[in-house]
Amino acid sequence: MKIFWYDDEKNNFNYFEDIIKDGSVDQTLLIQNIIDSHIGEEIKIPAGTYLITYLNIPNGTFLKGEFNTIFKSNLQNNVIKILSNVNCLIENIHILGSNERVRPSIKGEQVGWYLDGCLSVTLNNCSASGCNDSGIKIKNTGAQSAPQYYKIPILNNFKAYKNYVGIKNDVRGEYCQLNGCIAGENYIGYFTGGGNNMASNCQFNRNQNGARVVGGTTDGINYPNNSHASFTGCQFNHNIDESIRFENVEVGYMLNGCQFFDGDIVFKGKTKGVIINGSEGGTWSINSESKEQNMITNSFFYTKPNGNWNTTIIHKNNIGAGAIIEDNNLSSIDENSLIFKARYDLFKTSNRGINSWKSGGPNIFWGSKDVVISPNKYIDYVLIRLENFNSNFQKKCFLSAVDASSEICIDILVENYLAETITLDGVNYALIPVKKEFDTYVFFIAGVNRGASGSETGMAYGRVSSTNNFAYFSDKPPVLEQKIIQNTNSINCELIICKDYR
């Protein structure tokens, strides 16, 4: 491979020796000519500041800068253009825009790196600052053809700072990898409206807003095939307004092992299926206007989040056969915090049972093997949701514990128990005391004598499809030593386990 940097005969720089490197004179035509004349060969660019308007990167380009190789541009448009079907490798080049300021709030049109419809583009240790649209913008990399799965844009250790948006996956900016990237002091550190993008070990810190994940139609722009992507081991620290915002995310997003300190987590519009797992954070709020279900699980927050998030976020909710669910070991709760404590930090079961009440007779008993309490967890109460509640005509309740391994009923906790009824979040519950812990994994069989008429008190119910995750359904309660037979009917009941209530 010939390297266009050094001339052995002259013993000095050749192709760049006559190019001005102090940023005082436009060198666009000279540099573009060097690139166009030596496609497929490594072109080394010495340290210096090169004033340009913009450069087109042709297919097969290999540019390699030094530690201080800077392309400076005052053009309020796209500075480095990497367009349709281009494959290239670029290293150690910084784009300096004309709008460098900390967290600029006014959007313009200058883009440092503009990738549109490209294929195998790899940027190693490149960067951008001072661009009032985006430090880098990636579009239309999700074309419906096979190369989209293996000829993808890869950003390794890319740095974006003092831009309006640091790193942007725009419409159909898909199948990109961000590895070890840093976005700081931007208005928005990272913006993505494309699907299948993976960001790992990245830092989105000290921006006005750390990251925004959007889909559907957001701010008048349609983002098709959005989300279903991931952040792994990323930081969202010390952002001023928002750590991360999910807006109209249509098919979920996965965050594993991330950190959130300062800045809100926001769920807007039709966002659904976002899972934040194994993460930590504090001193921020979780706010949600979404009515869909999202999840924060196995995470630690050193301060309890504020915000209106408890109607959409499920904490430590694991629906699946044999799932092990543990509580968060808070010492006590009151009625106002019970929803946070029990429904979100422990678990709720739903969609289990038969299609209608008339098939089950006056006594309905049910259990769910997919919700399991681990050993030595003290349980104070179980709450059973009630429907058609009549305060003047309470019904008797039943509760037993079943060994999850052997599926044998090991304890009758209450039988024909006239439960106290409470109302939480506008829903009526029967409050059944347990006041003990078990030395094995257990799940519960619960029931309410609903009476002969659907107008009287009973568990919540509805017409739902069958599932194989349901453990027990019967018009007779189980007895000690009884083997619990798997049943695949569905129901719409709800049971909440509480470590503490009083």
| Span 436-472, pLDDT tens digits | 888 988 888 887 765 554 444 444 433 233 444 567 7
Task: Quickly list DSSP for 457-470.
Answer: -EE--------TT-
Question: Is 330 within the bounds of a domain?
Answer: no
- Of 360, 318, 343, 327, the C-alpha closest to 448 is 360
Q: What is the pLDDT of residue 381?
A: 78
Query: Does the pLDDT at position 351 exceed 60?
Result: no
Query: Does the pLDDT at position 142 exceed 80?
Result: yes
Contact 345, 339 (CB under 8 A): no
Give the three-state DSSP class for 336.
Answer: helix
DSSP conformational letter for 239:
-
Q: What is the pLDDT of residue 237?
A: 95
Question: Is 183 within the bounds of a domain?
Answer: yes
Please identify, among 289, 318, 347, the residue that sits at the C-terminal boundary of a domain: 318
Question: Is 343 within the bounds of a domain?
Answer: no
Please tell me which residue, 362 or 308, carries the higher pLDDT value. Answer: 308
Q: How many domains does the chain have?
A: 2
Specify whether 177 is located in the same domain as 277.
yes
Specify whether 429 is located in the same domain as 302.
no
Question: What's at 469, amino acid-wise?
Answer: N
Question: Is 490 within the bounds of a domain?
Answer: yes
- Of 171, 172, 65, 61, the C-alpha closest to 122 is 61
Q: Give the sign of the dihedral formed by CA 221, CA 225, CA 227, CA 229.
A: negative
Question: Is 6 within the bounds of a domain?
Answer: no
Specify whether 293 is located in the same domain as 368.
no
Question: If pLDDT is split at 50, 70 and 90, which confidence band does 299 have?
Answer: confident
Give the three-state DSSP class for 317.
Answer: coil
Specify whether 156 is located in the same domain as 239.
yes
Specify whether 236 is located in the same domain as 124.
yes
Query: Does the pLDDT at position 105 exceed 50?
Result: yes
Specify whether 263 is located in the same domain as 366.
no
Domain housing 380: 357-498
CATH number for the domain harbouring residue 26: 2.160.20.10
Q: What is the pLDDT of residue 18?
A: 87
Contact 451, 400 (CB under 8 A): no
Q: What is the pLDDT of residue 135?
A: 98
Angle (CA) 406-408-410 rounded to 5° is 120
Question: Is 396 within the bounds of a domain?
Answer: yes
Specify whether 373 is located in the same domain as 305.
no
- Of 99, 39, 45, the C-alpha closest to 68 is 45
pLDDT averaged over every residue in the chain: 80
Contact 204, 228 (CB under 8 A): no
Specify whether 304 is located in the same domain as 430.
no
Q: What is the pLDDT of residue 202?
A: 98
Q: What is the pLDDT of residue 478?
A: 86
Question: If pLDDT is split at 50, 70 and 90, which confidence band does 248 have?
Answer: very high
Question: Is 345 within the bounds of a domain?
Answer: no
Q: How far is CA 92 from CA 63, 114, 192, in A?
A: 9, 17, 24
Lowest mean pLDDT among 322-336, 353-367, 485-499: 322-336
For the ranges 142-156, 182-196, 486-500, the maximum mean pLDDT occurs at 182-196
Specify whether 94 is located in the same domain as 191.
yes
| Span 192-241, pLDDT tens digits | 999 999 999 999 999 999 999 999 999 999 999 888 999 999 999 999 99
DSSP conformational letter for 33:
H
Those residues with Cβ within 8 angstroms of residue 186's Cβ, 6 or more apart along the chain or in another chain:
103, 104, 135, 160, 161, 162, 163, 164, 165, 166, 207, 208
Question: If pLDDT is split at 50, 70 and 90, which confidence band does 338 have?
Answer: very low
Angle (CA) 179-180-183 rounded to 5° is 110
| Span 419-440, pLDDT tens digits | 888 777 677 777 888 888 889 8
Specify whether 90 is located in the same domain as 185.
yes
Specify whether 313 is located in the same domain as 361.
no
Those residues with Cβ within 8 angstroms of residue 29's Cβ, 6 or more apart along the chain or in another chain:
none
Q: How far is CA 271 from CA 265, 267, 306, 474, in A?
A: 13, 6, 20, 38
Please identify, among 266, 298, 318, the residue that sits at the C-terminal boundary of a domain: 318
- Of 400, 399, 437, the C-alpha closest to 417 is 399
Question: Is 324 within the bounds of a domain?
Answer: no
Please identify, among 290, 318, 346, the residue that sits at the C-terminal boundary of a domain: 318
Q: What is the pTM of this model?
A: 0.66
How large a percentage of the chain has pLDDT more than 90? 49
- Of 140, 198, 139, 203, the C-alpha closest to 166 is 203
Specify whether 308 is located in the same domain as 427.
no
Question: If pLDDT is split at 50, 70 and 90, which confidence band does 502 have?
Answer: very low
